[in-house]
Chain A
Amino acid sequence: MKRIKNDKLLNEVKVVDKILAEVSGFSFLDALTALSWGIWNSLAALLTICKLKINPWIIWSSMIFLGAVSNVIIVKIAFSKKGYKLFEDKIINNTWFAVIFAIIIQVFLLGGILKVYHPMYTISFASIWVGTGIFITGVAGRIFLYKIGGFIYFISSVLEVIFVKYSYHIYLVNTLIVLIGFTLVSYFLQKDSYDRT
């Protein structure tokens, strides 16, 4: 039988593949989500280090709240500008909300209200969750730098426990490197875009 080279379904799939290839770049709006978390985290760490007369629990609660609000706004703007949402976007958003939920329960309820552990360990517990979030984001979005970033966050949480006095300093450096530095590198190099090939 004569081989039919161009079949209907195959051609349609090729069109969709082309569309997917076009939209698979790591856009500025994708980068902005991580950057906003980096900015709020760094700000909270800086304020805590500066020892202003503000309760650290208020600083960190505000950071989580403002981070979450910024994230929701950025995701909405991103959808209206891009006109689409990838499955990865959904997984990443759900992961971040799970991470925020975990931090609120463990760090704020157990640590802040019930006083289960010393306030200085707050940041180490948060690091573990944020590290998990970044790592899962890296796996879901197939972003190599995020996988390393998640791992660095884990190492950072260990260092924060060993050098408790400098935990906020370590966290600040870690945040600047991973959330801000890695995101900017990913964006400018366009090397770590969602790899669908």
Chain B
Amino acid sequence: MIELNEIIHSKPRLLIMLTLFSFEECDFNFLKNKLQFSDGVLSVHIQKLEKAGYIKVRKRFIGKKPNTSYKITDKGRKALIKYIKQMKEIFDEFKI
């Protein structure tokens, strides 16, 4: 039986991971606006992904404004690829 990664297998976290997988770096506002999540929802899911070591957080000041940006880690990249492969296996099995 295929055991899916519980951390990635949730719509908001999967979307965050896929977005970060496609970009070199994204900041909080960009993710919030593009994925249309509230501040709270995005923060909670980002914290879970960070705790799992799947994303790296960078806090800095650009000019006088604070800026928080995110990057996917190698561990996160591998976990996402594994998840996609597992999903593909499931799709193949059910001929989707």
A residues touching B (Cβ–Cβ < 8 Å)? 1, 3-4, 7-9, 12-13, 15-16, 19-20, 22, 76, 79-80, 82-87, 89-90
A12: which B residues are within 8 A, CB to CB?
11, 14-15, 18
The answer on a CB contact under 8 Å between A20 and B22 is yes
A83: which B residues are within 8 A, CB to CB?
26-27, 29-30, 33
B81: which A residues are within 8 A, CB to CB?
none
Distance, CA A89 to CA B96, complexed state (A): 36
The answer on a CB contact under 8 Å between B27 and A84 is yes
B18: which A residues are within 8 A, CB to CB?
12-13, 15-16
B59 close to A (CB within 8 Å):
no
Distance, CA A48 to CA B33, complexed state (A): 49
Which residues of chain B from 46 to 96 have a CB within 8 Å of any chain A CB? 62-63, 65, 67, 69, 84, 87, 91, 94-96
Residue of B nearest to A90 (CB): B24
- We find that the number of chain B residues with CB closer than 8 angstroms to chain A is 27
B69: which A residues are within 8 A, CB to CB?
79
The answer on a CB contact under 8 Å between B62 and A80 is yes
Residue of B nearest to A22 (CB): B34
B44 close to A (CB within 8 Å):
no
Additional pairs, 12, CB under 8 Å, beyond known A79-B27, A84-B25: A7-B87, A8-B11, A9-B91, A16-B15, A19-B34, A20-B22, A82-B30, A84-B24, A84-B27, A85-B26, A87-B23, A90-B24
Residue of B nearest to A5 (CB): B96
A20: which B residues are within 8 A, CB to CB?
22
The answer on a CB contact under 8 Å between B24 and A87 is yes
B14: which A residues are within 8 A, CB to CB?
8-9, 12
The answer on a CB contact under 8 Å between B67 and A80 is yes
The answer on a CB contact under 8 Å between B35 and A7 is no
* Contact sample, A vs B, 22 pairs, CB 8 Å cutoff: A1-B94, A3-B96, A7-B96, A8-B14, A8-B87, A9-B14, A9-B87, A15-B15, A15-B18, A16-B15, A19-B22, A19-B35, A79-B62, A80-B62, A80-B63, A80-B67, A83-B30, A84-B23, A84-B27, A84-B30, A89-B24, A90-B24
